[in-house]
Amino acid sequence: MSENTPIEMKTKTCAPDDHALRQSAEILREGGLVAFPTETVYGIGADARNGQAVARIFEAKGRPSFNPLIVHVAGLEQAEAIAGFDARSRQVARQFWPGPLTLILPRLEGGGIADLTTAGLDTVAVRVPAHPVARKLIEIAGLPVAAPSANPSGRLSATTAHYVAETLGGKLDMILAGGAAEIGLESTVLDLSGKDPVILRTGAVTPDNLESLLGRVDIATKAVAGEKPKSPGQTLRHYAPMTPIRLNAVDVVSGEGLLAFGSTRFMGVKGGGAATDLPAGRIRNLSECGDLYEAAANLFTCLHELDRSGSERIAVMAIPETGIGLAINERLRRAAEAVEQGV
């Protein structure tokens, strides 16, 4: 080995035979990351119910922000366990699944999908992929698989296992090599969570295909001035709390709730008292031991809970600007600004 040879561990790339599929399913069940082919592009999969596993996806992509992910399932029955279907969405699913169509639907309480997977939204993106390797992996793992396109943030989506290995090798636990992704373009994203169907991202399932079933279907465009931005890809609607947020707090002001990170032993309440004496409903800790993956997994759940706690404001302790901490801080800053601007 020459001195210049990188010693970074390369991720194992396997042909998707039974053994590799079983091993990959096990990796997913244990909270690991598996890149796998779909008919659109390759995805980086993790257990959609496991927030810490999903946090690793964002870190692998080097994405300094949390965007909601698509949950890949084996069929309509599994989709109905996590998303709220009605006659219209059921009809669309029956016609286009398995295939390159993602549906945005109301997220079911108790469906088990991690808050980080949906980035705190009350909707969930679901899709049944058609690629046999993706289908087998989901079936054997027996769990919903959150998977964004397998490319580092800002780079082209991967259509071959080779490209995945080149750009993400070392950051994943396994790459299932299933040949080139046939379509080479991400799935169509159709929002059926509101009254009128809206295409949020165009793809192989075309507006014409959808209109034959649904009647008129709008395609979301960039936010128009004065209008609330509708959606993702271009203009994603983000979860934001209603309660004002104060970042980098070193103490708590009376009336505030506390979003803590690490030990709160030395946090005081202005005017007297300790943060540890706040009513239980007013304090949430992202990670008592200061683990950033745990913090990412808890972020949206904790924000939701504090938002409902009756606090006048949420004080947030400082979170390190490293690794996945960058994405946590980015989201908190955005939430703080959103409340200030009333959006």
Task: Give contact residues for ligand TXA (rule: CB under 6 A).
Answer: 38, 40-41, 43, 67-70, 102, 104, 118, 121, 123-125, 127, 147-149, 186-187, 189, 200-201, 231-233, 236
With the CA atoms of 333, 338, 340 and 342 taken in that order, what torsion angle do they form, in degrees rounded to the nearest 10? -170
According to DSSP, the residues that pair with 270 across neighbouring strands are: none
Smallest separation, CB 31 to Mg ion (Å): 22
First to last CA, the chain: 56
DSSP letter at 107? B
Smallest separation, CB 199 to ligand TXA (Å): 11
Smallest separation, CB 5 to ligand TXA (Å): 32
Residue with Cβ nearer ligand TXA (81 or 253): 81
Residue with Cβ nearer ligand TXA (76 or 247): 76
Residue with Cβ nearer ligand TXA (24 or 40): 40
Q: How far is residue 199's CA from residue 89's CA, in Å, rounded to a whole number?
A: 14
Say which entry of Mg ion, ligand TXA, none residue 262 contacts (CB below 5 to 8 A, set by partner kind).
Answer: none
11 near Mg ion, rule: CB under 5 A:
no
Interface characters, 250-289, with Mg ion (x: CB under 5 A): ----------------------------------------
Identify whether the C-beta of residue 197 lies closer than 8 Å to the C-beta of residue 210: yes
DSSP-derived secondary structure for 240-253: --SS-EE-S-SEE-
159 near Mg ion, rule: CB under 5 A:
no
Residue with Cβ nearer Mg ion (102 or 149): 149
Smallest separation, CB 148 to Mg ion (Å): 5
User: Cα 8 to chain center, whole Å?
Assistant: 27
Q: What six digits make up the tokens of 183?
A: 């379509």
Smallest separation, CB 151 to Mg ion (Å): 7
Q: How far is residue 239's CA from residue 303's CA, in Å, rounded to a whole number?
A: 10
Supply angle C-alpha 189, 200, 238, rounded to 5.
105
Smallest separation, CB 4 to ligand TXA (Å): 34
How would you classify the pairing of strands 251-252 and 218-219? unpaired
Q: How far is residue 144's CA from residue 118's CA, in Å, rounded to a whole number?
A: 13
Q: What six digits make up the tokens of 285?
A: 């800790």
Say which entry of Mg ion, ligand TXA, none residue 200 contacts (CB below 5 to 8 A, set by partner kind).
Answer: ligand TXA
In the list 149, 159, 193, 309, the residue contacting Mg ion (rule: CB under 5 A) is 149
DSSP letter at 149? B
Residue with Cβ nearer ligand TXA (43 or 241): 43
Smallest separation, CB 307 to ligand TXA (Å): 18
Residue with Cβ nearer ligand TXA (61 or 282): 61
274 in helix, strand or coil?
strand
